[in-house]
């Protein structure tokens, strides 16, 4: 959920500031770009140099700074516009009160007042301060502005007391924000099944029948589904691609038979299924247990048999699932796609052709036409597969909402 996002981290002057080094690392690991703005008092608890090193961006503290004896201005408006999310952690009682009442006496507060993005704040203070009526009024006022509070946790406090007021642990802050972003997303509470990549059909222990699919399109679809809030099961044939997202479960398979079995373990429980894999149509009837030795004068003959049609089986088994297939053709693209759409009981089919330069296997781009079950067509320009995935999901969500 945080991958590719610009996150501004505001750090105020509390002992919990030492935890922000871990928070920055977790945000970077999640794929976010991070910039840090410190209050002057926060620099007493955590080193700007450490945060600069971890975030790979210079930490800012003051409105103006000296660079080689020249004055430069830290633009709070630009910082606020850059951020997709603004996290203030730890958020002291002092800073929270100023935020609630429009006080603007440092760069962090000026940036907060300029921010157009969602703002999350993680309070950190002693037990009695956290429970004080004025503090509770501050929380209420800030949330009424649309800010999101990450509740403090219970534990040992700097004063030696034990109770509520401890800043949420960095991993809990990440989890809270991810779950908050998922809520209200178009695919929130939806479960998605996606097949991707090729299948390898064994001839002997070292040889197989395969195709040129890299799995890129299926992986981009899975990534986008997770960003939109879905829980994703990605059933993938052999590929070098990786995804690190706790919304995505990757189920690795090799053969068409294994993919068929895996698909039907999940299919009955999903809301949407997309068959983006390039599944082999044929597999060797007999697989040698030993490597087949080359015969100098004799041609090699393989007897092949049909694999099970995974997409057809899903179409036959579907109840309330929204089912999407792919049709990669070299001729009669739309006629073949329409026949496949009807025969396999699909709700939507993604048609493309190897005749279009930059489309199909082994490329970072694709050019598609979408056909729905009413045979409505929509053709898109050649685009990166990440953008193609967005187009496909936009079409699916539109159909689901209709």
Nearest-angstrom CA–CA distance, 388 and 394: 10
Rounded to whole angstroms, the Cα distance separating 245 from 192 reads 14
Of 123, 42, 70, 172, which is closest to residue 51 (Cα–Cα)?
A: 42
| Residue 101 designated active-site | no
- What is the 8-class DSSP label of residue 291? P
Q: Which residues 6+ apart lie within 8 Å of 329 measured at CB? A: 336, 337, 351, 352, 353, 354
Dihedral, CA atoms, 44, 50, 54, 56, nearest 10 degrees?
100
**CA nearest neighbour of 35 among 19, 54, 17:** 54
**Residue 33 and residue 83 in contact, taking contact as beta carbons nearer than 8 Å:** no
| Cα separation values, 215 from 4, 198, 275, 314, Å | 21, 7, 11, 20
Contacts of 175 (CB under 8 A, 6+ apart): none
Give Cα 134 distance to the centre of its chain: 39
The residues, any chain, with a CB within 8 Å of residue 119's CB and separated by 6 or more, are: 85, 86, 87, 88, 112, 146, 147, 148
Q: Single out the catalytic residue among 6, 74, 172, 211.
A: 211
Sort 176 into a burial class: Cβ within 10 Å, 0-12 / 13-18 / 19+.
middle
Q: In angstroms, rounded to a whole number, what is the distance separating the alpha carbons of residues 321 and 402?
A: 15
| Distance (Å, whole) CA 36 – CA 116 | 17
- The radius of gyration of the chain from alpha carbons, rounded to an integer in Å, stands at 27
- Provide the sign of the torsion angle of the four alpha carbons 333, 335, 337, 339, taken in this order: negative
Give catalytic residues, as residue numbers.
211
């Amino acid at each position: 959920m945080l991958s590719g996002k610009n996150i501004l981290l505001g750090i105020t002057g509390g002992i919990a500031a030492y935890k922000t080094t871990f928070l920055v690392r977790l945000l970077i690991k999640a794929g976010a770009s991070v910039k840090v703005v410190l209050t002057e008092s926060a620099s007493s608890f955590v080193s700007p140099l450490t945060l600069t090193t971890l975030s790979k961006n210079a930490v800012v503290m003051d409105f103006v700074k000296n660079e080689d004896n020249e004055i430069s201005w830290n633009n709070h408006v630009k910082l606020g516009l850059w951020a997709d999310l603004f996290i203030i952690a730890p958020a002291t009682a002092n800073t929270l009160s100023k935020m609630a009442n429009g006080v603007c006496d440092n760069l962090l507060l000026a940036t907060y007042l300029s921010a157009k993005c969602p703002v999350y704040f993680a309070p950190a203070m002693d037990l009695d301060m956290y429970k004080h009526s004025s503090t509770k009024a501050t929380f209420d006022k800030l949330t009424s502005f649309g800010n999101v509070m990450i509740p403090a946790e219970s534990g040992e406090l700097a004063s030696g007391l034990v109770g509520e007021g401890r800043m949420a642990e960095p991993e809990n802050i990440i989890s809270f924000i991810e779950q908050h972003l998922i809520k209200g997303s178009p695919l929130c509470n939806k479960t998605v099944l996606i097949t991707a990549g090729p299948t390898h059909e064994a001839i002997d222990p070292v040889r197989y029948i395969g195709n040129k699919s890299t799995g890129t399109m299926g992986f981009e679809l899975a990534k986008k589904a997770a960003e939109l809030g879905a829980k994703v099961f990605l059933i993938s044939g052999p590929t070098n691609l990786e995804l690190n997202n706790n919304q995505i479960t990757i189920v690795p398979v090799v053969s068409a038979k294994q993919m068929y079995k895996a698909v039907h373990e999940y299919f009955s429980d999903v809301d949407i299924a997309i068959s983006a894999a390039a599944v082999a149509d044929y597999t060797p009837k007999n697989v040698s247990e030993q490597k087949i030795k080359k015969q100098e004068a004799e041609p090699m003959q393989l007897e092949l048999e049909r694999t099970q049609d995974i997409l057809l089986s899903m179409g036959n088994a579907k109840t309330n699932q929204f089912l999407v297939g792919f049709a990669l053709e070299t001729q009669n693209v739309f006629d073949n796609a329409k026949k496949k759409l009807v025969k396999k009981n699909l709700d939507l089919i993604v048609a493309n052709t190897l005749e279009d330069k930059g489309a199909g296997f082994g490329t970072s781009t694709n050019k598609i036409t979408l056909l729905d079950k009413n045979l409505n067509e929509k053709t898109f320009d050649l685009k990166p597969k990440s953008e193609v995935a967005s187009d496909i999901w936009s079409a699916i969500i539109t159909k689901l909402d209709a």
